[in-house]
Structure 1
Amino acid sequence: MNQKLFFSGLIVMFALSAAGHYFHFGNTLQFIISAIAIIFVAGFLGKATESVAHYAGQRLGGFLNATFGNAAELIIAIFLIRARQFEMVKASLTGAIIGNLLLVLGLSVLLGGLKYKEQRFNNRLAEHNATLMIMAVIGLFVPAVFVVSERFTFDQDQFLSLAVAGILIVSYILWLVFSMITHKDMLADEVMTADHGEAPAWSKGKSIIYLVVATVMVAFVSEWLVHTLDAFSEQFGLSELFIGAFVIAIVGNAAEHSAAVLLAMKNKIGAAVEIAIGSSLQIALFVAPVLILVSAMFGNTMDIVFTPIELTAIGVSVFIAKSVSRDGQTNWYEGVLLLMVYVILGIAFYLV
């Protein structure tokens, strides 16, 4: 999309979303406008992080893209927590994890594979990512099994949730130290790809400013979107699980979608994998635990107990993503497989 046209659309949709919220358009219309607006602002966020990534390198750039791309999910979830919609928060976290592992990674591998017969990235990084994905499943699976089967009291449930949240956050921070500092060279991209003379969209200073501006815009539009969810789901008979796991997740993942796919089509599959898998790991090991702590600060702690449906969706997503990425090379058919699993889960969630 032409940059001037994109910014015109961004300003128009942001203004319309604000008008819909403050002048009380119909709930369905407000939802549609806010959803389109958040796609635009998430795209703006993606462009800013991609520009910053040009100066920071593929791995750090991918990490920054995943981090700021997750800003939408995090901010939406905080507003949902304030409204005490804990089940929708968990559903949106589930959707963010499976959306990144299946939809974002699947589209990146498929479209990159159609252009390049085979794409490679650091297989050591792939092995570590696989182990971390299993760690994430353990962190979400164990509390659910013990709380339900042992019939923990409310206080035991809260204590276990806070303890697991703290452990997962420490694990993620230590992973950043390991991957970005102590073993940075070992996990660097082995496959060097040319930039084909590409220049970043903006200067370093302007990219950072736009990154901050985009994050603030995401915060506003996220709040406006959250206010429409109850009425929208009731009007169309959609479950909180489907709204959280697919609608919010797809809208909130717009930044990762665009950036990861574009990087894969430039044969920078390492950065695309870092965005898709790295973003899922960040959601499971950092964002979800942080939300547990944030809810405690609001005076009503959300537990870390996910439903069997959510755990099943996360488990199968991790299994297929691990199988596809473990050897450090991808092709278009593996992208198709990831997308097919996403469609299966989407149909199942819709029918709940």
Structure 2
Amino acid sequence: MAPASGGRLVQPGAVPSDAPEKEEGFPDVLADGWLAYLRRSIGTLLFEEKLNILMLATPFALYARHLGWGEGLTFLCALVAIAPFAERLSFVTEQLAMYTNDTLGGLLNATFGNVTELIVSVFALRAGMYHIVQVNLLGSVLSNLLLVLGMALFFGGLKHETQTFNRNAASMNSSLLMLASMSLLFPTSLALSGAQLHADSILLLSRVMSLLLFIVYAAFLYFQLATHRHLFEGQEDDEGDDEFVLGFWGALFWLGAITLIIAALSEVMVDAIEGAAVSWGVPDIFIGVIVIPIVGNAAEHAAAVIFALKNKMDLALGIAVGSATQISLSVIPSLVLLGWAMGHPLDMQLEAYEAATMFASAILVAIITTQGQTNWLQGLVLVTAYVLLAAGFLVHE
């Protein structure tokens, strides 16, 4: 991500106002006037990242059907357009987090880092595409655990012979991922055994487990941010190249605007998934598990690799494994409960191969991170595992 430019710090002792961006120690982003602020903020958001050139696909995605384009091309345009907006959403969240404490800032980054997956899943849920919801979230977890983390370990290991990180945080995340894997494996195993008491037993079990997982995730946040905060203290990004650009209220505005754009593109993409699968000659499950998550995790992927190259492995693991943990314990249960409220019977039952990939991936990551140090070969193992499971989904019916 290119460093932001602009902004002028308020000297200590200056009289603060009610606006968060003018509090003591924070910059007055409007010090040079509204015109300068708009020029600086729009320039930073739209023109400082080379990836932003892909935003030009947005109008084509939104009007592709009116132009008579096929579902395959419509889906591709929406997919391409979402990538830069997902990355810019990450940047805006970081700008907003600079006005909060470390605890709230970390939560903001973790939460909005998964907004793209959540929005896509909500539209798929509303359309009754329950399996697409399941595999999209599963794919995001697998992408973070194997591809994002694997690339970070690989490239970081090429530059640094051995890299170390906080074993306590890695162990806790691994335990939670195993719990999440069990919550997906149990309904699947029960369905395969045919031993359920009633036709809706799987659905009832899924809703009960979703509530329990939510409670565990809330307990984990309290554990991480309050009672055992010292266990999670790791490296910080102290490069000093992050500058205040958008301001508190400006960041909130852009957060909402970008989220709306992602929502519009997600609706187009979800509507075109099945047609795109037929057009491309691949299973729609491959698109849901592999293609969409790779695009949605593009910003996290780049950030994790950059931090690994800087030998900041706590941050790299926090991005990859932390995001997978949040999706498993928070986003998946939230979609099950949201479907319950909307009258959509979304459950946590997967196909046998899908549940196996989740369980095996959680075990592999736990094994690799248990020593508190990594190297490039372990990263290669994770990436290879991702390629293997992707090949399986390519021939999955």
Per the normalisation by structure 1, the TM-score is 0.91
State whether structure 2 residue 204 is matched by structure 1 residue 162: no
Residue matched to 2:231: 186
Instruction: State the distance in 1 between where 2:141 and 2:48 align.
Output: 32
- Cα drift, residue 272 of structure 1: 1.5
Change in 2 beyond 3 A, CA 1:286/1:316: same
Alignment of structure 1 residues 111-130 onto 2, 5 Å: 111-130=155-174
Q: Deviations over 1:53-76 (max 9, x none)?
A: 566688765553332121111110
CA RMSD in angstroms, aligned pairs only? 2.3
**Runs (5+) with no aligned partner, structure 1:** none
Residue matched to 1:264: 308
Residue matched to 1:341: 385
Q: Is the 8 A contact 2:116 2:296 kept in 1?
A: yes
Q: Deviations over 1:3-37 (max 9, x none)?
A: 51538625423233223255453222211111110
Instruction: State the distance in 1 between where 2:387 and 2:345 align.
Output: 33
Amino acid at match of 1:308: A
Amino acid at match of 2:242: A
Question: Which residue of the other structure, out of 246, 249, 262, is the alignment partner of 2:290?
Answer: 246
Amino acid at match of 1:313: T
Most deviating of 286-295 and 64-73: 64-73
Identity %: 33
Alignment of structure 1 residues 26-37 onto 2, 5 Å: 26-37=70-81
Residue matched to 1:9: 53
Question: Which residue of the other structure, out of 116, 121, 124, is the alignment partner of 1:80?
Answer: 124
Instruction: State the distance in 1 between where 2:364 and 2:100 align.
Output: 30
Greater C-alpha Rg: 2
Residue matched to 1:65: 109
Residue matched to 2:18: none
Instruction: State the distance in 2 between where 1:193 and 1:243 align.
Output: 34
Residue matched to 2:216: 171
State whether structure 2 residue 198 is matched by structure 1 residue 198: no
Per the normalisation by structure 2, the TM-score is 0.81
Alignment of structure 1 residues 195-344 onto 2, 5 Å: 195=239, 197-200=240-243, 202-205=245-248, 206-344=250-388
Q: Is the 8 A contact 2:73 2:276 kept in 1?
A: no
Instruction: State the distance in 1 between where 2:302 and 2:173 align.
Output: 22
Q: Which structure exhibits the higher relative contact order, with contacts defined as CA atoms closer than 8 Å and separated by 6 or more residues?
A: 1
**Runs (5+) with no aligned partner, structure 2:** 3-43
Most deviating of 320-329 and 112-121: 112-121
Q: Is the 8 A contact 2:154 2:380 kept in 1?
A: yes
Amino acid at match of 1:151: Q
Q: Is the 8 A contact 1:61 1:271 kept in 2?
A: no
Most deviating of 63-72 and 224-233: 63-72
Q: Deviations over 1:94-126 (max 9, x none)?
A: 211111000111111112222222222211111
Q: Deviations over 1:37-91 (max 9, x none)?
A: 0111111122223444566688765553332121111110111111111111111
Q: Is the 8 A contact 2:210 2:337 kept in 1?
A: yes
Instruction: State the distance in 2 between where 1:40 and 1:192 align.
Output: 25
Instruction: State the distance in 1 between where 2:183 and 2:202 align.
Output: 14
Most deviating of 6-15 and 62-71: 6-15
- Cα drift, residue 127 of structure 1: 1.3
More helix by share: 1
Question: Which residue of the other structure, out of 61, 69, 82, is the alignment partner of 1:38?
Answer: 82
Report the count of equivalent residues: 350
Change in 2 beyond 3 A, CA 1:201/1:29: farther
- Cα drift, residue 188 of structure 1: 0.9
SS of residue matched to 1:151 = coil
Q: Is the 8 A contact 1:94 1:245 kept in 2?
A: yes
